[in-house]
Amino acid sequence: MKPTYVASNPDYAAQLMSLVLAMPMAKWLGIEFVKVEPGEVELDIAYREELSFVPGKMQATAIFAAADFAGVSAAGTLLPAGWINASIDCNLKIVAPADGEKLRARGRVVSHGKLLTVSAAEVFSVRNGEEVLCATALLTARNIELQRK
């Protein structure tokens, strides 16, 4: 049974997307959020030659980044206002080539706590609208309260 989460911050989606898309790496990867809901995030990264290891195949680092951003962003949807999070662990298993037009990563929260949140992500290679699983990941994010003035 899929858990149902409720965001404590009413502006969670806008805050999350603003924080993530302000990161130089997220900008360079061209991350596009497709879905942002409490405990779930879906994002796309379009294929570009500079993200490949041979023409037509995305490099493992791009696959890892898609999983990491999706999983840790899913964890971020449950943070209170004034909190951020950061990746502290990720285990990625590549199961097929990423040889589509884009990567689609779906992250979801597995266990949410005040200090740590564990999430999972699946990364798909998308070609002509068809998704093929290319990687799965288990991630841990550290939740950090920003200092008050």
113 in a structural domain = yes
> pLDDT band at residue 147, thresholds of 50, 70 and 90?
confident
70-90 pLDDT tens trace: 999 999 999 999 999 999 999
> pLDDT band at residue 7, thresholds of 50, 70 and 90?
very high
Helix, strand or coil, per DSSP, at residue 49:
helix
Strands 83-94 and 32-37: unpaired
Range of the domain at 113: 12-145
Helix, strand or coil, per DSSP, at residue 42:
strand
Is the predicted pLDDT of residue 137 greater than 80, yes or no?
A: yes
31-79 pLDDT tens trace: 999 999 999 999 999 999 999 999 999 999 999 999 999 999 999 999 9
Answer yes or no: are the C-beta atoms of 78 and 142 closer than 8 Å.
no
124 in a structural domain = yes
In the chain, how many domains are there? 1
Averaged pLDDT for residues 86-112:
97
CATH number at residue 81: 3.10.129.10
4 in a structural domain = no
> pLDDT band at residue 149, thresholds of 50, 70 and 90?
low
Half-sphere exposure of 44 (CA within 13 A, CB side): 13
76 in a structural domain = yes
Kindly state the tokens that stand for 114.
């005040």
Its pTM stands at 0.95
